[in-house]
Structure 1
Amino acid sequence: MSIDATATVVLGAVLAVSATLIAACLWDRARAVGRTLLTFLVVLLLSVTCALQLNRLTVAYPTWSALVGGPSREVALSSGLRTRPGGGRLLTVTVPGRASGLTLTMGVYLPAAYDTPEGAGRRFPVIEMLHGYPGSPSTWVRRLKVVQHLDEEIIAGRMAPAVVLLPYQTPKRLLDTECTNLADGPQTETFLTEDVAAYAADHYRVRTDSAGWGLIGYSAGGFCAMNLALRHPHRYAAAASLSGDAGPGIAVGDGSENTTNNVAWRLQHLPQPPLSFYVAWAADDRESRDGSRAVVRLARPPLRVTAVELPSGGHSHALWRRMESPALDWLSGQLARSIPIDR
């Protein structure tokens, strides 16, 4: 039984309820020490159950070994097998961070066209997918069903075949980097923009020009997508934010969370590059709503913004699943298509 399985949460709830009933039955007969122990047991089991449910929603720890400090490896669809006829396949790789000093695992989705005789002679556009915090690439796969969405959109012709990268963004599961280079900490921005790109170029038939690269993220990953695109317009052509804010939710350590690592500040104080943004949010999610509206309000040509506000949905996986396919279709439309390998 995996740590993020529904059955694990149910078991925790059953144990918590059982402990509560036992405590109630023994309360009058127990002494002070006994009551203290019973209370501690009930509180412990309730806390563990709540933590298991939070982890089930975010997939911060996809396996028991990850919880105790084991290797950070994806477990869903990592065999490379297709899940449907005409669909793509998802691999798990390890990216050595020659520039950043980080070595992290990454999911790689290869569309069905990649493995065809025609595809063998072409370089494909790339979409880099950034998860929220807490979260992991498994959240995209297991909660947001990204493989299903990619397969459906590509098969239907609404999206061009693309290589999709799902990198980890932190070497420590509960360290929020917001995709930045933390002062005296992990150099996540360098990993995502240099090491991931270098690995993809070395191991897969992908375009290496900015016209063929895009970003998409949800929650904190939405901020990441916009921020990295603004900071590296030579690397990316477009970015899609699903419930992303205009600034990071952390202190970077050098004050840049208020300046150069803040989307709103950059749009106000620096020249805006020729990028395309897709900014989506729910009206009842105040934080991402206000941040997203600020991005839309501050954007000026040559930066182009497509804004989508849904009336409700909060800050939830259910909302992002609704947003996912339209955002992917839009992003595909902004990126250059595959090209012959000799170009």
Structure 2
Amino acid sequence: MASVWWIWPRLSVRTWPAIAGRVGVLLGNQILTLAALALLLNNYFGFYSSWGDLFGTNGSIAAPIVRDDQNVDPAQEPAGKVQIISSAHVPLITREGDTGGRLQRVVISGATSRLSSPAYVYLPPQYFEKKYATTRFPVILALTGYPGDAGNLVTRMNLPTLAAKAIDRNEMVPTIMVLMRPTVAPPRDTECMDVPGGPQVETYFTKDLRESMAATFRVGTEAANWGVLGGSTGGYCALKMSMRHPEAFSAAVALSGYYKPPIDSTTGDLFGGSRQLKDQNDLMWRLGNLPHPPISVLVTSSKKGESNYKATLDFLDAVKPPMQASSLILPSGGHNFNTWNREVPQALPWLAQQLHMPDGGTSSATPTPASSPSS
């Protein structure tokens, strides 16, 4: 801005170069202002984590970072399709000195889809206790919106600490969480589906993820042991994948989700020209034309400030047994982290309470029922 004040008087003469210079200065100021605004919006919503993420040059593999836990021996890490990059304690503020478990930065690869993606895995403190040494745990997959950054689930939504506190208060049984973004094949927005001739993202989440996690961690492998939670695009993915694959997920939470995938420059042609495939990924079409799956879902919206409010009511009205639907409707809110942070303290325990400890697993914790979300 200071340079504009310095150069503007020098461009005040009535010559073509000076006029062109003034136009250039004005255009430059507009571009810089828009760039600053875009940067502020990106920092707030967490759309892209880097320039490489924006332009699709990062690939899908996270670069290794320095391990921040000197007690972890890489030679002792379990072999499998999950590469553990780093591990850190999750603080539990309720009791000084106690740990809320561990958060591991990982890369999860899929054998069938041949896709890999960075992620975080939250392991509750019970995972490391002797009395749980043979226990397998239920799992919640948490997804961001598009394009998203899995780190936002840690830094902006604080999911590991919220889970640790809920477990400590007996609102949740000890539960493992996998924190990811739905953009497994960046920069394309696949809406979590197997694209004809393209990335097989639905297979990655509904098949590969479970197999890779089971090869590395003590997790349950039945649908009753797995739930999925997501915001925006992640919310649509959570509903879609549980409805299409009740053998993979028995429960889902959609925070400000939508009910059919958009088609735009970020998605390209998701259906390969198939009307049948397009219908099958439209959740309202599924409710109107296919048997309802035996799953439980929770959808959220706001009466003022969210564009999905009417569509959410229509979705709730269309659900029939054996599918069960609950809702969490705020008086006002928006399509942003502030709104989701108001919903997650109820939504996360609700989802955990829909899941079952795997057969043969034991837990001394009996969850205290959370407030039942309702419209």
Normalized per residue, the structure richer in helix is: 1
State how far apart, in whole Å, the 1-side matches of 2:7 and 2:46 are.
32
- Write the mapping of 1:277-288 to structure 2, written as runs, cut at 5 A: 277-288=297-308
The match for 1:112 is 125
The match for 2:270 is 252
- Alignment partner of 1:273 is 2:293: yes
State how far apart, in whole Å, the 2-side matches of 1:243 and 1:270 are.
24
Q: 1:153 to 1:20 in 2, by over 3 A?
A: farther
Q: 1:53 deviation in Å?
A: 1.8
Q: 1:230 to 1:171 in 2, by over 3 A?
A: closer
Q: How many residues align?
A: 326
State how far apart, in whole Å, the 1-side matches of 2:3 and 2:198 are.
42
Which of residues 131, 141, 147 is equivalent to 1:134? 147
- Alignment partner of 1:79 is 2:81: no
Task: Mark the runs of 5 or more structure 2 residues left unpaired by the alignment.
Answer: 69-84, 92-97, 264-268, 363-375
- Tell me the alpha carbon deviations over residues 58-92 of structure 1, each in whole angstroms, 9 at most, x when there is no partner: 33332455456235538899732113133122112
Q: 1:295 to 1:121 in 2, by over 3 A?
A: same
- 286-295 or 29-38: bigger deviation: 29-38
The match for 2:283 is 263
Conserved 8 A contact 2:147-2:183: no
The match for 2:327 is 307
Q: 1:21 to 1:258 in 2, by over 3 A?
A: farther
TM-score normalised according to structure 2 size: 0.80
The match for 2:42 is 55
Supply the RMSD in Å over aligned alpha carbons.
2.5
Aligned-partner SS, 1:151: helix
Conserved 8 A contact 1:226-1:241: yes
Identity percentage of aligned residues:
32
Q: 1:236 deviation in Å?
A: 1.2
Conserved 8 A contact 2:146-2:183: no
Letter of the aligned partner of 1:165 in structure 2? V
Q: 1:202 deviation in Å?
A: 0.6
- Write the mapping of 1:21-32 to structure 2, written as runs, cut at 5 A: 21=5, 28=12, 31-32=18-19
State how far apart, in whole Å, the 2-side matches of 1:193 and 1:242 are.
20
Aligned-partner SS, 1:87: strand
Conserved 8 A contact 1:61-1:173: no
Letter of the aligned partner of 2:211 in structure 1? A
The match for 1:295 is 315
Q: 1:327 deviation in Å?
A: 0.6
Q: 1:134 deviation in Å?
A: 2.9
Q: 1:290 deviation in Å?
A: 2.1
The match for 2:266 is none
Letter of the aligned partner of 1:206 in structure 2? V
Conserved 8 A contact 1:122-1:339: no
TM-score normalised according to structure 1 size: 0.87
The match for 2:371 is none
Q: 1:86 to 1:314 in 2, by over 3 A?
A: same
Conserved 8 A contact 1:131-1:219: yes
**Structure 1 segments (4+ residues) deviating >6 Å:** 74-78
The match for 1:234 is 247
Q: 1:175 deviation in Å?
A: 1.9
Which of residues 351, 357, 360 is equivalent to 1:337? 357
Letter of the aligned partner of 1:79 in structure 2? S
- 77-86 or 308-317: bigger deviation: 77-86
State how far apart, in whole Å, the 1-side matches of 2:2 and 2:162 are.
41
Letter of the aligned partner of 2:231 in structure 1? Y
Aligned-partner SS, 2:252: strand
- Tell me the alpha carbon deviations over residues 188-209 of structure 1, each in whole angstroms, 9 at most, x when there is no partner: 1111111111111111000001
State how far apart, in whole Å, the 2-side matches of 1:33 and 1:295 are.
56
State how far apart, in whole Å, the 1-side matches of 2:230 and 2:107 are.
21
Aligned-partner SS, 1:281: strand
Letter of the aligned partner of 1:147 in structure 2? P
Q: 1:180 deviation in Å?
A: 1.2
Conserved 8 A contact 1:256-1:262: no
Aligned-partner SS, 1:295: helix
Letter of the aligned partner of 1:70 in structure 2? N
The match for 2:230 is 217
Which of residues 216, 225, 234 is equivalent to 1:203? 216
Task: Mark the runs of 5 or more structure 1 residues left unpaired by the alignment.
Answer: 1-16
Q: 1:139 deviation in Å?
A: 2.1
- Tell me the alpha carbon deviations over residues 140-180 of structure 1, each in whole angstroms, 9 at most, x when there is no partner: 12221212211221111111111111233224544211111
- 76-85 or 216-225: bigger deviation: 76-85
- Tell me the alpha carbon deviations over residues 289-340 of structure 1, each in whole angstroms, 9 at most, x when there is no partner: 1221121010001111111211101211100001112111111111002554
Q: 1:21 deviation in Å?
A: 5.0
| Max Rg structure | 2
Q: 1:51 deviation in Å?
A: 2.4
